Structure 1
Amino acid sequence: MAYHYKESGLDNVFLENGYTVHQTPYGEGVSIHDTEGLHRLIGEQIVAGPKRINGAEFRFLRLAMELSQRNIAAIIGSEEQTVRRWEKCRNQPVNGPADRLIRLLYTEYVGGNVKIRDAVDRLAKLDQIDRTEIRLREDHDHWRAAA
């Protein structure tokens, strides 16, 4: 019998195996084997799917990348309130550009693309950092960043 993996936050994930059912003092409990690998595969299935990502899937991918609603909103150039609304309306698709961008970010992020991970981390901090001075200096007809 398949286990309905509601703990993922998604309504459509069922596990055929890879879990153990055991008794606890509070009733029946379930232990999932290799949760990290399972979540990675769920994310890969979401981004490879033919339909637009819905709010629940968007939330799953955001959490897999360890981003807050505020940070993902900054990355995709949206308002935090818009992200909240998408995630609250679990079955509604997110808008086209956000759908494509989160698919790309997730694919590269979990694929180990260090440059994308660094870019995601840097973009997520855009609204949190005050503007800093850009100091430049010319040396021998070439511009460079000043120390």
Structure 2
Amino acid sequence: MYHYTECGLDNVWLANGYTTKTTAYGKAVSVADADQLQALLAERVVSKPARLSGKEFRFLRVQMGISQATLAKTQGVSEQAVSLWERHGKVPKANDALMRLCYLAHAQGDEPLREAFNRVMEVERLIHQKIVATAGPKGWKSTVEEEPTERLAERPAVAT
């Protein structure tokens, strides 16, 4: 059995459906149809009776392809609150329930939900731009660039 920690959860073991290979960098593991496996794990997480752990909360957020900032805005909390929940696992009941509902709608292909998340992420992207001013022989010129921050690197587009 393989302890599948790469998904971000500590309690997942694979009985089969994976192959291991020794490389120059150590052992490498390949999981068959990883997307289907991730969806199955998300279904299990969403349907569990107990409150979500921080790792489970993060797992669902990542499965939806949204950033902490986007999730925070859509749940009416600060980005720091989402970060704390994910690190320490104390997710308030209302936010736990809202996350489960958001994931279920996302998994069923709810286009209005995906569009709403994409709009929030686009606004975040536009807010976090930097203006680069350059002095030249004919005066100043400026360009606008996205800030290469770790926060922005975590923000993948929501799959449609």
Q: CA shift at 1:123, angstroms?
A: 4.7
Stretches of 4+ aligned residues off by more than 2 angstroms: 119-130
Which residue among 106, 118, 122 is the counterpart of 2:119?
122
What residue in structure 2 maps to residue 72 of structure 1? 71
- Residue 52 of structure 1 contacts residue 96 of structure 1 at CA under 8 Å; is this kept in 2? yes
CA distance in 2, matches of 1:62, 1:23: 32
Q: Confirm or deny: 8 A CA contact 1:23 1:29 kept in the other structure.
A: yes
Q: Which residue of 1 aligns with 2:94?
A: 97
Residue of structure 1 in register with 2:27 after alignment: 28
CA distance in 1, matches of 2:68, 2:27: 33
> 2: CA distance between counterparts of 1:42 and 1:88?
20
The gaps in structure 1 that reach 5 residues or longer are 131-147
Cα deviation, 1:74-129, whole Å, max 9, x if unaligned, reads: 0100111101111111xx34101110011000011011121222233335556777
Aligned to 1:41: 40
SS in 2 for 1:17: coil
Any conservation in 2 of the 1:22–1:29 contact (CA below 8 Å)? Answer: yes
Query: TM-score w.r.t. structure 1 length?
Result: 0.79
Which letter does structure 1 place at the counterpart of 2:103?
Answer: Y
AA at the equivalent of 1:94? V
2:103 aligned residue: 106
* Deviation, structure 1 residue 60: 0.6
Identity percentage of aligned residues: 42
Match in the other structure for 1:55: 54
Q: What is residue 16 of structure 1 aligned with on the other side? A: 15
Work out the number of aligned pairs and report it.
127
Separation (CA, whole Å) in 1 of partners of 2:116 and 2:83: 23
Unaligned runs of 5+ residues in structure 2 are 128-160
DSSP-derived class of the 1:52 partner:
coil
| TM-score (normalised: structure 2) | 0.73
CA contact (8 A) 2:54 2:87 kept: yes
The secondary structure found in structure 1 opposite 2:19 is: strand
Alpha-carbon contact 2:20-2:27 (below 8 Å) kept: yes
